[in-house]
């Protein structure tokens, strides 16, 4: 694993500026579509609301949710619906997760993390593997989070590792920071630790 660039808690605008610079570099370095994957949850969407105000060539950006609940897109718990509502009006393409549609190589995989060390919908009970032969899986967290008690569809660890950079936003939560730092030290075997242990690309964490 490469060293993690850990940045103390900052506002949504600062993180949006970082994302703007990262995506701009990817667009300049590549021709055609550039793909990124983004997280759901309460922390990322205010950042995305800032990001979509950036002056990027949105028509060349393809945005994938890292995971979603198995609900209709117009359901309040749908990550895809919220991502689509933000990014499609500025011209980006949003791709819903589908086990029959292989995800591309991502310029950036942006992730959150739970207190239990889960990433995307790879919860500890799902035993995610670094060598998973599937890039997208449907699964059931156990226990089901009370705020979103639904089955999930998610990118797997190999799909997330198929990226040029990894970004984590922890929302200033000290408990999450403790779990993340322990994962860097390989002090546990939670999903976040499994991902970081196999990562060879740059890793940035806004704690």
Domain boundaries, the chain: 4-206
Residue 98: pLDDT band with limits 50, 70, 90: very high
Quote the pLDDT of residue 57. Answer: 97
What is the average per-residue pLDDT within 43-57?
96
Q: Is the pLDDT of residue 174 over 70?
A: yes
* Predicted pLDDT at 146: 86
Element (H, E) at 205: strand 203-206
Q: What is the pLDDT of residue 2?
A: 63
Q: Which CATH class is domain 4-206?
A: alpha beta
Average pLDDT over residues 30-41: 95
Q: What is the pTM of this model?
A: 0.95
DSSP 145: P
State the Cα–Cα distance between residues 65 and 84, nearest whole angstrom.
9
- Does the pLDDT of residue 3 top 80, yes or no? no
pLDDT at residue 1, rounded to an integer? 65
List beta partners, residue 5.
204
């Amino acid at each position: 694993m490469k060293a993690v660039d850990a940045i103390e808690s900052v506002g949504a605008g600062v993180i949006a500026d970082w994302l703007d610079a990262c995506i701009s570099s990817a667009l300049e370095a590549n021709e055609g579509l550039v793909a990124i994957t983004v997280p759901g949850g309460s922390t990322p969407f205010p950042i995305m609301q800032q990001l979509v105000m950036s002056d990027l060539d949105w028509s060349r950006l393809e945005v994938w949710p890292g995971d979603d609940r198995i609900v209709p897109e117009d359901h309040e718990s749908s990550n895809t619906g919220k991502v689509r509502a933000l990014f499609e009006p500025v011209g980006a393409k949003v791709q819903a997760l589908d086990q029959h549609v292989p995800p591309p190589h991502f310029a950036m995989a942006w992730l959150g993390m739970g207190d239990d060390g889960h990433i995307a919908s790879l919860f500890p009970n799902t035993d995610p593997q670094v060598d998973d032969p599937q890039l997208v899986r449907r699964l059931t967290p156990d226990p089901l989070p009370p705020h979103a008690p639904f089955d999930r569809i998610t990118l797997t660890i190999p799909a997330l590792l198929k990226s040029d950079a990894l970004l984590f936003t922890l929302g200033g939560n000290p408990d999450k920071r403790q779990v993340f730092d322990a994962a860097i030290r390989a002090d546990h075997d939670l999903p976040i630790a499994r991902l970081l242990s196999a990562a060879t690309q740059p890793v940035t964490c806004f704690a």
